[in-house]
């Protein structure tokens, strides 16, 4: 089902740009732009292609910053030395801009560099994952669970066929084993369950409305007591 709305048309423009470039994977700024259009909050960010632009953009976004290499050939950027956190000034941005590119070239000599991604570093929070997939057999589906390294370690996730209602999104959140921790068990910090549910609904609508999207993933989604923010997003086209 395709719902004609302005946000869908804006997503389609981004998709057209990806397809025209011969890629199936969106760059970090493209992925975040798509989920932003669906109402998901993200920290300020920019993709730059020169060190001069990196310095200029870093002043606009403000410090501290996270700097990541942007390359289709590096699925796990930290594994190739392509992630630097807590950058406090333009000198550190300039130094690590070159270091990220050099590290990628050392680890993946044939890798194509798409640019360098800069993002405002935000306070640590409970890390969640929200994903969407268009399955060949079942159609659009959505997934929720603990994010970051915990998603691979514990595999504590729940699934539903998309699109989901608010009640179904809340069932997904309640359905994981770690739910008591998310809801303040024994003094643990409660997270904003309502905003997490809205995020699940938004991702389910994105994969339902945009049939060319094969996968979308927010990991990590930082969950605070009164808000959530998607720190990283990944979109793969069919």
Task: Report domain extents, the chain.
Answer: 45-120, 126-237
Per-residue pLDDT at 3: 54
Rounded Cα–Cα distance for residues 13 and 19 (Å): 10
CA dihedral 17, 12, 39, 140 (to 10 degrees): -110
Beta-bridge mates of residue 157: 145
Per-residue pLDDT at 1: 46
Per-residue pLDDT at 104: 96
Q: Where are the alpha helices (DSSP H) in the chain?
A: 6-20, 28-37, 51-61, 90-107, 150-154, 166-174, 179-182, 193-209
CATH 3.40.50.150 fits 45-120, yes or no: no
What is the number of alpha carbons within 13 Å of residue 126 lying toward its C-beta? 22
Rounded Cα–Cα distance for residues 54 and 90 (Å): 8
The CATH number given to 126-237 is 3.30.470.20
> Averaged in consecutive runs of 10 residues, what is the pLDDT profile of the chain (238 residues)?
74 96 95 97 98 98 97 87 97 98 95 96 96 93 88 85 98 95 85 98 96 96 97 96
CA 153 to centroid of chain Cα atoms: 19
Per-residue pLDDT at 191: 96
């Amino acid at each position: 089902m395709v719902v004609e709305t302005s946000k869908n048309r804006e997503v389609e423009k981004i998709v057209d740009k990806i397809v025209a470039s011969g890629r199936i994977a969106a760059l970090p700024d493209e992925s975040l732009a798509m989920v932003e259009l669906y109402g998901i909050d993200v920290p300020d960010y920019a993709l730059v292609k020169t060190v001069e632009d990196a310095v200029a953009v870093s002043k606009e976004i403000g410090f501290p910053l996270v700097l990541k290499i942007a390359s289709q050939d590096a699925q796990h950027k930290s594994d190739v030395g392509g992630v630097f956190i807590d950058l406090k000034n333009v000198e550190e941005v300039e130094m690590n801009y070159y270091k990220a590119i050099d590290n990628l070239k050392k680890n993946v000599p044939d890798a194509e560099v798409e640019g360098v991604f800069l993002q405002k570093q935000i306070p640590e929070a409970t890390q969640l994952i929200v994903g969407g997939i268009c399955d060949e057999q079942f159609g659009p589906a959505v997934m929720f669970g603990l994010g970051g390294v915990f998603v691979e370690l514990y595999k504590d996730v729940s699934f539903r066929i998309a699109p989901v209602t608010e009640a179904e999104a809340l069932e997904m959140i309640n359905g994981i084993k770690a739910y008591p921790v998310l809801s303040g068990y024994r003094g643990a910090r409660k997270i904003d369950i309502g905003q997490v549910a809205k995020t699940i609904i938004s991702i389910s609508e994105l994969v339902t409305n945009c049939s060319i999207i094969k996968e979308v993933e927010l990991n990590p989604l930082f969950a605070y007591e009164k808000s959530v923010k998607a720190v990283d997003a990944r979109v793969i086209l069919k």
